[in-house]
Amino acid sequence: MNRYERQTALKELSEQGQQKLLQAKVLVIGAGGLGCPVLQYLTAAGVGEIGIADDDVVALNNLHRQVLYKENHIGKLKVEVVADVLQQMNSTVKINHHIARLNNKNILPIIHLYDVVVDATDNIPTRYVVNDACYLLRKPLIYGSILRFEGQLAVFNYHTNITCRDLFPQQPKENEIADCNEAGVIGVLPGIIGSLQAAEAIKIITGIGQVAAGKLITYNMLQNSLYEFNISANPLAASFLPDDEKAFENADYGEVCDVFSVREIDVASFEEIRSLPGTIVVDVREEYELSETPTIESIQMPFSVFDENIELPAGKTIVVICKSGHRSKAAAALLSRKYKNVVSLQGGFNNWLTLNKMDHA
């Protein structure tokens, strides 16, 4: 009661509203610029169960806007860092890890577990996958988007049949739309839009206020402008929405996992390949991790300072390794832009150690 007394004092919310928050289950897809404020405020508000879906690691260029992370988190999985921070904020909230980049093959069982979904992603294919999955399962979807100095907010599938496809029926190609990596974004903007997304989630859960259902809200920081538009049903939307779960799972959404679409090798293949004279091993673990496990002959380049333009001998097989296999996939994907034969060790050093211990047992 002491923790939430400032909320329960609100007659619109009261203890009944707080109880609804306690019983709610919210999935936040993306633990980046938008996800950070969403996760913090929903945890602080007392949402009973929160799922975090992300497969990325913390990088130095995240820190100006992704305010849950500190410098000593660089190179670590965002999901693991966020879960630890949120549990320290509010130990009564149940935090679920989903270390995965969601696609139309794995998203439906995860979304089934939650009442409300928050889209805090940063790539086009995933946005359409999330939208179509929520449409099929009739889950309220809170959409947020940011670019440069402007952000957008909308709520889909909540007391309306309006979805993201009523705004943009056909999925555009990723190179047709600029993203934050190319165009940039002011650090405070995701904090504003993410906070608005958290507010919509609280309103949906507790039934208070006016939810932005079927509306598009745009905010421009430079002009201090905030506009609200009604989204009309688009007759073209139905032709692009999946008819059922089977059609959804078989649909082509493009390279949802583009940045991590690299070939992985198992430990047996790794042992065979690394003994060959033409193989280069690149270890992207951080300095503090190297003392935790045996080292092998490799080029050391911590992921926190990883340089994709590193000069490596041409025509060689490059095997990228890390502790658990997530950072190595990201680093291998970056190297693949420059080098042809780049692979990642599946499961990382953890997997390598486990199998070697079993062999010696």
Is the per-residue pLDDT at 265 higher than 80?
Answer: yes
Residue closest to 298 by CA, chosen among 310, 336, 309: 310
pLDDT value at residue 136 = 96
pLDDT value at residue 181 = 58
DSSP helix/strand/coil, 155: strand
In the numeric block, which tokens belong to residue 361?
A: 């047992």
**Average pLDDT of span 66-78:** 90
Is the per-residue pLDDT at 95 higher than 60?
Answer: yes
Of the two residues 35 and 346, the one the predictor is more confident about is 35
Query: Is residue 257 annotated as part of the catalytic site, yes or no?
Result: no
Report how far residue 113's alpha carbon sits from residue 342's, in angstroms, rounded to the nearest whole number: 37
Highest mean pLDDT pick, 104-113, 278-287, 332-341: 104-113
In the numeric block, which tokens belong to residue 61?
A: 């260029």
DSSP helix/strand/coil, 304: helix
List the CATH code of the domain at 262-360.
3.40.250.10
Kindly list the domain boundaries of the chain, sorted by start residue: 5-257, 262-360
pLDDT per residue as tens digits for the range 200-245? 999 999 999 999 999 999 999 999 999 999 999 998 888 899 999 9
Is the per-residue pLDDT at 5 higher than 90?
Answer: yes
Q: How far is CA 270 from CA 101, 162, 283, 333, in A?
A: 25, 49, 13, 18
Contact 274, 281 (CB under 8 A): yes
In the CATH scheme, what is the homologous superfamily, with its name and number, of domain 5-257? NAD(P)-binding Rossmann-like Domain (3.40.50.720)
Contact 296, 274 (CB under 8 A): yes
**Average pLDDT of span 295-313:** 79
Q: Which of 36, 134, 164, 322 is catalytic?
A: 322
Contact 154, 212 (CB under 8 A): yes
Query: Is residue 164 annotated as part of the catalytic site, yes or no?
Result: no
pLDDT per residue as tens digits for the range 233-247? 998 888 899 999 999
pLDDT per residue as tens digits for the range 104-160? 999 999 999 999 999 999 888 899 999 999 999 999 999 999 988 999 999 999 999
In the numeric block, which tokens belong to residue 224?
A: 């201090």
Give the whole-number percent of the chain exceeding pLDDT 90: 54
